[in-house]
Each structure stands twice: as C-alpha cells, then as structure tokens.
Amino acid sequence: MSDRFAVEAVASVPILEAMGIRVVEARSGYAVAELPPEPNVNHFGVTYAGSLFSVAEMLGGVLSLVSFDLDGMVPVVKASSIRFRRPALGVIRAEVSLSEDEIARVRTDAQATGKGEFELEAVLTDGTGEVVATTVGTYQIRRF
C-alpha cells in the first residue's frame, strides 16, 4: 500500500486521526499500525481501552484494502472481542496477518455470493514486545 493510501485509510475516519493512529506497514495479508499515548491515556496514565480496540479493529479495513480487489465491495466489521492482558504504556503496535489461502477463499466466496467472511486476530504489543491486548474480529467484504 502506498503511503497515500495508508494516510487516507486513517484520515477517512476523523476520530482515528484524532487518536494519532498511523499505518506503518500494509501489504497483502499483513498490516501494522501504531497508537501513540497522547491523547489516548486515561487518568491512570495507561492507554484507554477504546483506543486499543480501535487501532486493532481498523487494521481489518486496511488489510481488506490491500488484500482484496474492493471495486464495488466494502469491508464491514460484524463483531469483535478484545482481551486486556496488562496495562498499555507508551506507543502500542497492533499487527494482523491473513494467509494467502484464506485470502483466496474469501475472494472466491465474495465473487460467488457477494459476501466473503473472515476472522482476523490482532496482537497489540508495547515497546518492549510485551502483549498488552489481543483481539479477534469477524469481518466481511460485501458487494454494495
């Protein structure tokens, strides 16, 4: 994904831009974004749950954008769950990946039925590599 697309993916949702979320890598089947502490820290000095959720969730859209031909289709999140494992301090990195086989399966489903569904696990780590949270999202690419 070009830098322009990465910037546009975040800028298309003003509140993601307000969180300071930045896509740092995105290619077919793989995407990474970063979340800075400010303005996401709560009054205990740790990053707010909703911001952690957001940096993980938005990667489903970014990954769809770079992995599928979305001409006439739109990525939609159907459900998501998050587990908070330890207090999140400093810049948080969120990472997702989807296998080429799974991408091919979703693409085939979408072409055949107008809808392709997939699950995406995100791992959120701090600057020392410690896992602070994990998410599992259910996404669809759908014809509109």
Q: State the residue for tokens 């707010």.
A: 48
| List 58, 59, 98, 103, residue binding its own copies (CB under 8 A) | 58
The 10 Å Cβ neighbour count of residue 36 is: 17
Using CB under 8 A as the binding rule, whether residue 15 contacts its own copies is answered as yes
| List 1, 23, 31, 51, residue binding its own copies (CB under 8 A) | 51
Q: Which two tokens stand for residue 65?
A: 């954008």
| Phi, psi dihedrals of residue 45, rounded to the nearest 5° | 85, 10
Using CB under 8 A as the binding rule, whether residue 131 contacts its own copies is answered as no
The 10 Å Cβ neighbour count of residue 27 is: 11
Using CB under 8 A as the binding rule, whether residue 43 contacts its own copies is answered as yes
Binding site for its own copies (CB under 8 A): 12-16, 18-19, 38-44, 48-51, 53-54, 57-58, 74, 76-84
